[in-house]
Amino acid sequence: MDKELIVRHMRAATPIGPFREVGEEQYAHTPFSEIYLVPQMRAVYTFMIDEFVPPMLRNYEFLSQKNWKNEITLRSNPYTLVHNCEGKTMFEHVSKSPSSFRRCNDAMMASDSALVTMGLYPFTEELGPLASDETVTLVDVGGGRGHVIRQIKESEPDLKGRFILQDQATVIKDNGDEIQTHGIEAMGHDFFQPQPIKGALAYYIRRCLHDWPDSECQKILSNLAAAMDKEKSRVLITEYIVPEAGGSMFEAWMDQTMMTLGGLERTEKDWAHLLDISGLELVKVWRAPGVLVGVVEARLK
């Protein structure tokens, strides 16, 4: 890259960050730029810029073509317009390229790690009295590379039973051997198919359902409901819970992002309705002050 171009770009990247100017044509990192030296955080940034920002900028164009009717679907939306992939979901589109698919998984893992999710649900207190060494205590549905189920297992050392990570076979192949060294079973599974693990104490699904409209979420949750034990099982859903009024800019921005893909962020009323049509009922929402995500707990009706 030519020096002149670097200097001109750094003039724009130093007044308010993320870099700082230390002399004439001399620049240094700040904590806000150093974070992107971490490959997973760099994946978040580039994935957002390449995949999500262009569709958000063309929301107006897509909706104008639809005469401002709510006809956004999984396979016809601002994302498919921009990326010329009508008829495919975002996940189907990025999975065509191994590097894009890897970047997607890295970005999902990093954004998950940046959220406060641990400590919202008291796993040992709620599941411990029902668990034994043979019990399937926790199934992490769509759990990616297993970073969260590993955190749960390590932070709840007194919680007995089997811990199972589920995700697409391609994701499990990437990381399954490593996660099993932590005492966690790895299983390739498509959550649109019947759930093979029956009667687990908890089916944990985290930041997956906002990717999908109600019709698809109903399929996912109905598969879990069919596998549940009436007395012991529960579904735990960790997601942003949009306030009915007075929401933050971040929640609104996340919902706009999901709109480009055919998904959405949901209010507590939305979650209650979705669970109801899936054969479940909302029994409690676990929250913490100042934390945007919550854990929606559901049982069989």
CA dihedral 225, 228, 229, 235 (to 10 degrees): -90
Report how far residue 261's alpha carbon sits from residue 271's, in angstroms, rounded to the nearest whole number.
Answer: 19
Q: How many CA atoms lie within 13 A of 60 on its CB side?
A: 1
Residue 257 tokens, joined: 């992002």
* Catalytic pick among 93, 147, 189, 210: 210
**Contact criterion met (CB below 8 Å) for 203 and 186:** no
Burial group, residue 185, by CB count within 10 angstroms (0-12, 13-18, 19+):
middle
Peptide bond between residue 18 and the one before it cis (omega within 30 degrees of 0): yes
Residue 165 tokens, joined: 């990570």
Report how far residue 120's alpha carbon sits from residue 102's, in angstroms, rounded to the nearest whole number.
Answer: 29
Residue 219's alpha-carbon distances to 119, 171, 203, in angstroms, are 29, 21, 15
* Residue showing tokens 């934390």: 291
147 catalytic per annotation: no
* Residue showing tokens 């100017």: 21
Report how far residue 21's alpha carbon sits from residue 74's, in angstroms, rounded to the nearest whole number.
Answer: 44
* Residues forming the active site: 210
